[in-house]
Amino acid sequence: MFLSRSPLNRVARINGFSAQIRTVSDKPSTRTSRARRVTLEDFAREPKKKKKIGSRFETHPDSPEDKTHLPPRDKWRQIFAWVPVNDRVSLSNPETANTVAECFVPKGNTDRVIIEAFPGPGQLTRSLLALPKERIKKLIVLEQEPKYLDYLRPLAALDSRLKIIPFTALEWDTFDRVEEQGLLDDVETFPWDGGVHPNLQFISHLPITVYGEQLIAQILRLIPNRNWLFKFGRVKMNFLLSDYIWQRLTASPENALMRCKLSVMATATADFQTKMYDELQPYAEHFHPILVKKATDKLSNRRIGVPFQAVEITPLEKQVINPDKLDTWDYCIRRLYVRKATPLQQCIEDLGPGAQSLIPKLSATIDPKTIIRDITVDQWASLIQEFDAWPFAPTDLGINDAKLDNYGGRGILNRY
């Protein structure tokens, strides 16, 4: 039977199709609509977000009007809470700060010229200024954070001994500014073999980031050639630093976990002493910032809450490193420490093609089977002496491999 081609039948068929289309269109669509492109006009129409209370440049409502005095410790987290200084640990307990100041500048010291780096809002600074005035002749603080400066500048108005350099100690130009302002003109140069400098002293809270470690690495590197403050003599340095950094600085060859390039350079250039440890525990009772979460006692990280201690670092009178060979030391230690768990005889070729020929000459002082991290400072001195005398030693001792260039703080810190 054939369907009729009459106009009425065509109309019926069209109506039937229309009904089907309406039925389908009534169902919810599963297609995802294309997102409208955001334009600059949309941003212009949006209301501006209010600054978070306590941001870097905004005064917190709990801040005291008289900033010669610091706010209560329980307010520090709100008043000084902003990202740029979350890695900046500083003393917050005034009684602890008094004890540390007495430890760093004890009775018997006179006319000290002290450079204090990373003072934070100045709890330790206040304690240093509170010592008997004959002990400290001048206190030069290096601080760039605006909110911390708010609590330091009023002190300078009250005590002429305090000099503020509003720049970070992570840039060597900051120390140039200290000298350009004549703040060290009255510091005498003291003979290297005449003992520790009787007047000049460096004090610092050390940031817990890699930049803090790089800073102390570069400072130690400046000792053999007597640059920086060491041009005045053997200047004593006091640090408040994390136990993690301290273990890396002082690790012996037996400490396989913490022994590193920094340990070798530190042992070769300076003497290290812990001055206060138990008195600074637990962390939360003495330092800012305080963790909301439970503090950790693990040493293998740079997190806030790792135990801190007060230490003293003094340049050695007799330096193992010849200033003229400092680049050679850098080159050899960096190259070989890439494979620090490998025996010397298997990785000495990393110093250059043909370096295997040095093994017979080194055998008198170093067992070729000694793994790199077990080599002592005296053995490093022998290795570097033989490498320097080797006719085929590379003439370009620069290290361009980014994986190797993580020691010494190149870039923001690199100067000497």
- Residue ending a domain, choose from 255, 280, 315: 315
Residue 117 inside a domain? The answer is: yes
- Check whether 317 is labelled as a binding-site residue: no
Buried/exposed code over 312-351 (b: 16+ C-beta within 10 A; e: otherwise): bbbbeeebebeeebbebbbbbbbbbbeebeeebbebbebb
d(CA 23, CA 360): 92
Residues 379 and 346 in one domain: yes
Count of all residues that appear for the chain in the document: 416
C-alpha angle 141-292-304 in degrees, rounded to nearest 5: 45
Residues 349 and 308 in one domain: no
Both tokens of 51, joined, read: 């600054």
By the 8 A CB rule, do 276 and 309 touch? Answer: yes
Q: Which domain holds residue 350?
A: 320-416
Residue 376's closest CA among 320, 299, 312?
Answer: 320
Angle between helices 261-269 and 210-221 (to 10 degrees): 40
- Residue ending a domain, choose from 291, 315, 339: 315
Give the number of domains in the chain: 2
Residues 324 and 269 in one domain: no
Residues 204 and 337 in one domain: no
The pTM for the full model equals 0.80
By the 8 A CB rule, do 76 and 89 touch? Answer: no
Backbone phi, psi, residue 91, to 5° = -60, 135
Residues 85 and 219 in one domain: yes
Residue 287's closest CA among 42, 93, 53, 75?
Answer: 93
Residues 399 and 256 in one domain: no
Residues 294 and 270 in one domain: yes
Helices (H) and strands (E) in the chain, counts: 14, 9
pLDDT of 142: 98
Residues 88 and 159 in one domain: yes
Residue 125's closest CA among 105, 97, 104?
Answer: 97
- Check whether 102 is labelled as a binding-site residue: no
First-residue to last-residue Cα distance in the chain? 103
- Residue ending a domain, choose from 300, 315, 330: 315
By the 8 A CB rule, do 362 and 372 touch? Answer: no
Residues 273 and 379 in one domain: no
Question: What is the phi-psi region of residue 289: left when phi exceeds 0, alpha when psi lies from -120 to 50, beta otherwise?
Answer: beta
By the 8 A CB rule, do 114 and 139 touch? Answer: yes
Residues 280 and 330 in one domain: no
Residues 229 and 145 in one domain: yes
Residues 124 and 214 in one domain: yes
Where the chain has pLDDT below 70, the residues are 1-66, 82-86, 292-303, 399-416
Question: What is the phi-psi region of residue 154: left when phi exceeds 0, alpha when psi lies from -120 to 50, beta otherwise?
Answer: alpha
d(CA 232, CA 184): 10
Both tokens of 405, joined, read: 């260039």
